[in-house]
Amino acid sequence: MALTIYQIDVFENKLFEDNPAAVCPLEKWLPDELMQSIASENNLSETASFIPTG
């Protein structure tokens, strides 16, 4: 399975100067255990996922 994950800086307007977070767009929700593994693999506890809504 291939997923796109974006790492962003939050709470700051300057690059590399604040808290990193991951954002993972999904086509459908994944099992909680897999979502936790994704956050752990990227070493970012601040990991958000979303699915598009119509």
Sign of CA dihedral 11, 17, 20, 26: positive
Q: Which two tokens stand for residue 23?
A: 């954002």
Q: Which two tokens stand for residue 35?
A: 């979502």
Residue positions annotated with a catalytic role: 46
